[in-house]
């Protein structure tokens, strides 16, 4: 294996395919934007995973139409700030985030990130299979058959050749997320009430602050995950994005951020339709949530919610397992491109297959301590997030590495502010989880 102390070099395997020339006409510009969409959109809407969607719905059911809707919208600024740095770092340096960590901070920090990311991703993948199986079991399939079908669908990506074809397919899967708007409409939300909370940020006055603060921390945690930083950086390289395409990369990231927050807000509105109709709300699972929607709004909204939950789990399972594959394979200098076939990058795809198979198998273990694993994922994620964010700001502020694409003085201060907020929230998550 090559030394990790070598100077960073490009790991991209695809020639540059984008151009952001200012002379493009309107239709050419639209085609450029469509071509640019990918890493940012997939990373960010992938974070609206099955577990996150359930959390948003539970938040709505717990608080109704409340200040959590404008909070989610504002958190888009946080998500965009971090993911834009991830994209810009890879595009400007032509080097993956993991390799830069090895080069700048050495093997210990490099392997620390690999191991903690892989562990968190594996546990998170388990929650995605919980969401996918809950959606498929609505069709009458057993747990085992739903689990196997979910695994087979995620594996199907392997039989599509080339990065671009895989990317376009997953983007189309992402469009299914907008089914939540249909369900939100079917709940007949009070638009005047929604407009009111967008201005006042109202929360139920009788709710204890400790409960409200827990949900706030959870909402912030749902807006960003460590795997997203690694995924977008590596996908940027695999797509062939360079420093000349950063403007289009920002559009990609902005579109993904907008899609994430409006879908999350729609799911909170769906949950708000169940406000006052659920008991033991803090322990509700996907099957109980779907059943409550069916009881309150009918079969079709429940069916559509199951479809949306399955799609969210499927999209997240693909992106999360790819983040593990890219991170580990790039660190160990293995071939790690979606342009490569199974025979040309067997170790890269073995990580993808192994992660998904392990998560699917864990779901079938009787009496598996899901609550403990959920706690463990939150703790590991909190421990991993702090150094990831610090390293990201340091690297994107380095003029020798980034050239004129480095953070400006104002951007550096803003980034440190956002990072400080997220680190505090990560520590609060750990505290709330362990106490």
- CB 103, CB 8: distance < 8 Å: yes
Which runs of consecutive H residues, i.e. helices, occur in 397-435? 399-402, 409-434
Structure confidence at residue 382 (pLDDT)? 64
**pLDDT, mean of each 10-residue run, the chain (435 residues):** 46 45 65 84 91 89 91 92 95 93 93 90 90 88 94 91 90 92 94 92 74 79 87 94 91 95 96 83 78 92 93 94 95 91 93 96 84 63 78 94 92 87 74 66
Sole residue written with tokens 């638009």? 191
Q: Where are the domains of the chain?
A: 37-434
CA distances from 45 to 42, 241, 319 (A): 6, 20, 10
Interior angle at CA 350, CA 227 and CA 241, nearest 5: 50
- CB 358, CB 124: distance < 8 Å: no
* 3 state DSSP class of 1: coil
Neighbours of 362 (CB within 10 A): 17
Q: Can you tell me the distance from the alpha carbon of 9 to that of 237, in angstroms, rounded to the nearest whole number? A: 11
Q: Can you tell me the distance from the alpha carbon of 424 to that of 165, in angstroms, rounded to the nearest whole number? A: 40
The CATH architecture that domain 37-434 belongs to is Up-down Bundle (1.20)
Interior angle at CA 262, CA 256 and CA 267, nearest 5: 120
Spell out a b/e string for 318-336, using b for 16 or more CB atoms within 10 Å of the CB, else e.
bbbbbbbbbbbbbbbebbb
Structure confidence at residue 299 (pLDDT)? 92
pLDDT tens-digit map of 288-332: 889 899 999 999 999 999 999 999 999 999 999 999 999 999 999
Structure confidence at residue 133 (pLDDT)? 92
Structure confidence at residue 44 (pLDDT)? 93
Angle formed by the axes of helices 226-239 and 97-105, to 10°?
A: 110
- CB 397, CB 412: distance < 8 Å: yes
Q: Can you tell me the distance from the alpha carbon of 43 to that of 262, in angstroms, rounded to the nearest whole number? A: 16
């Amino acid at each position: 294996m090559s030394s990790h102390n070598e100077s960073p070099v490009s790991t991209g395997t695809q020639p540059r395919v984008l151009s952001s020339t200012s002379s493009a006409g309107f239709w050419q510009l639209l085609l450029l934007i469509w071509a640019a969409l990918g890493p940012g959109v997939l990373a960010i809407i992938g974070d609206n995973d099955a577990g996150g969607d359930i959390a948003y719905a539970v938040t709505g059911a717990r608080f109704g139409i409340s200040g959590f809707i404008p909070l989610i919208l504002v958190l888009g600024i946080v998500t965009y700030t971090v993911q834009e740095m991830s994209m810009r770092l890879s595009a400007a340096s032509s080097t993956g985030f993991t390799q830069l960590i090895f080069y700048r901070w050495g093997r210990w920090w490099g392997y620390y990130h690999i191991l903690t990311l892989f562990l968190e991703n594996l546990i998170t993948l388990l929650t995605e299979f919980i969401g996918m199986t809950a959606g498929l079991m609505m069709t009458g399939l057993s747990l085992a058959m739903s689990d196997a079908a979910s695994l087979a669908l995620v594996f199907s990506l392997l039989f599509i050749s080339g990065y671009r074809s895989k990317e376009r397919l997953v983007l189309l899967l992402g469009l299914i997320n907008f089914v939540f708007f249909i369900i939100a409409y079917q709940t007949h939300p009070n638009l005047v009430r929604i407009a009111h909370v967008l201005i006042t940020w109202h929360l139920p006055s009788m709710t204890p602050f400790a409960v409200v603060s827990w949900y706030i921390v959870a909402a912030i945690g749902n807006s960003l995950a460590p795997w997203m930083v690694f995924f977008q950086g590596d996908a940027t390289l695999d797509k062939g994005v360079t420093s000349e395409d950063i403007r289009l990369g920002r559009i990609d990231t902005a579109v993904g951020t907008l899609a994430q927050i409006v879908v999350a807000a729609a799911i909170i509105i769906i949950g708000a339709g169940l406000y006052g109709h659920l008991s033991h709300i803090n322990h509700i699972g996907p099957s109980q949530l779907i059943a409550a929607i069916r009881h309150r709004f009918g079969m079709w909204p429940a069916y559509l919610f199951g479809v949306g939950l399955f799609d969210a789990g499927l999209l997240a399972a693909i992106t999360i397992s790819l983040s593990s594959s890219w991170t580990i394979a790039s660190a160990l200098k293995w071939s790690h491109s979606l342009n490569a076939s199974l025979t040309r990058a067997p170790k890269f795809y073995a990580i993808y297959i192994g992660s998904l198979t392990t998560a699917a198998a864990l779901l079938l273990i009787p009496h598996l301590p899901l609550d403990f694993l959920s706690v463990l994922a939150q703790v590991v994620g909190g421990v991993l997030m702090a150094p990831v964010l610090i390293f990201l700001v340091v690297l994107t502020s380095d003029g020798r590495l980034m050239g004129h694409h480095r953070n400006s003085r104002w951007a550096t201060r803003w980034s440190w502010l956002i990072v400080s907020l997220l680190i505090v929230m990560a520590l609060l998550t750990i505290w709330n989880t362990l106490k």
